[in-house]
Amino acid sequence: MVGRLYNTGSPRLSTFSIAARDPLTGDLGVAVQSKFMAVGSVVPWAQANVGAIATQSYANTSYGPRGLELLRGGLPAAETLARLTLEDEDRRLRQVGIVSATGEAAAFTGEECFSWAGHVIGDGYCCQGNILVSADTVHAMAHAFEGTTGDLANRLVAALAAGQAAGGDRRGQQSAALLVVREGGGYAGYNDRLVDLRVDEHPAPIQELARLLDLYRLYFSKSDESELLPIDASLARELQRMLTDLGFHAADITGIYDEATKSSLWDFMSIENLEERQQDDAHIDPRVLQFLQDRWQGQALGK
């Protein structure tokens, strides 16, 4: 069941967002959209194994690092929220959503946030928004998050799309952002930023965010071994022909996936930043194959 709705009693910036935890992986994240440039530089904050925070509506950006500090120190989400707002003399103008590493969710909407303003708290997530067309936005976000399968990034973007379809920010669209954290989840395992994407200025920022997420998965995710394609003689010949035309293969076109062909393919993948999907044996990731085919066809068409 979708969580409880909280509405401000009086009509009063500029955003709808969701903060959430994936109970299967422990991933934490925030997704946000606003009629405000570069909203990703203000609203989303998260740290692996600690929590996720969305701070908005005349946003007090200190809520991000300060809230994470309190969560890291063992304070529950509700107490963290109470501490942040109690220390803020302008809390009546603030809106914030917090989810802890345990999945506890808490949210606050100040009584002077511009209407419609309010939030929904559910199991492991909270949706909040202000200057919305109506409460339908946060309800739709909650329903979409609960009803969407896939990883946390996919569910968060689905929630944004549903919120926009239900009305969204009554001033329109301008920017969106997605932040998902996991311990060692960043590039080469050096940080926790599993997904960190921003659309700073765009007429359809949520759609653009979804497109970027698909590209992000291509470049940063490893191959699904169950989907790998064996490189038989026909496919080896096709690879050799395309790689030759693209200037990566200087050997004969034999239909044999030999070391020269493998080296040519890896050179192409390295140039195109597809190293995460390289295979040691005679297999190829179908997304890599499609990428190579698109590059080859584009060159043939002069694109």
Q: Report pLDDT digits (tens) over 165-194.
A: 999 999 999 999 999 999 999 988 899 999
**Per-residue pLDDT at 88 exceeds 70:** yes
At 300 the pLDDT is 75
Spell out the SS3 assignment of 9-37.
CCCCCCEEEEEEECCCCCCEEEEEEECCC
Q: Print burial letters for 117-142: b (CB count within 10 Å at least 16), e (below 16).
A: bbbbbbebbbbbbbbbeebbbbbbbb
CA atoms within 13 A on the CB side of 156: 35
**CA-to-CA distance for 53 and 35, rounded, in angstroms?**
20
Residue reference for tokens 């979804």: 210
**CA-to-CA distance for 161 and 303, rounded, in angstroms?**
32
Instruction: Give mean pLDDT, residues 40-58.
Output: 97
| Confidence tier at 13 by pLDDT (50, 70, 90) | very low
Which tokens is 135 given?
């409460």
Which tokens is 50 given?
């600690």
**Per-residue pLDDT at 6 exceeds 60:** no
At 303 the pLDDT is 58
Is 229 exposed, middle or buried, given 0-12, 13-18 or 19+ CB atoms closer than 10 A?
A: middle
How many residues does the structure list for the chain?
303
State the amino acid at position 231 in one-letter form. I
Per-range mean pLDDT, top range of 11-25, 68-82, 215-229: 68-82
**Per-residue pLDDT at 4 exceeds 90:** no
Instruction: Give mean pLDDT, residues 86-90.
Output: 94
Q: Please give the order of strands across the beta sheet that includes 95-100.
A: 44-47, 51-56, 95-100, 105-109
Give residue-wise pLDDT tens across range 250-262: 999 999 999 999 9
**Per-residue pLDDT at 2 exceeds 80:** no
Fold (topology level) of 4-220: Glutamine Phosphoribosylpyrophosphate, subunit 1, domain 1 (3.60.20)
**Per-residue pLDDT at 8 exceeds 70:** no
Average model confidence (pLDDT) across the chain: 93
| Domain boundaries of the chain, sorted by first residue | 4-220, 225-300
Q: Which CATH architecture has domain 225-300?
A: Orthogonal Bundle (1.10)
**Per-residue pLDDT at 58 exceeds 70:** yes
**CA-to-CA distance for 31 and 45, rounded, in angstroms?**
10
**Per-residue pLDDT at 10 exceeds 60:** no
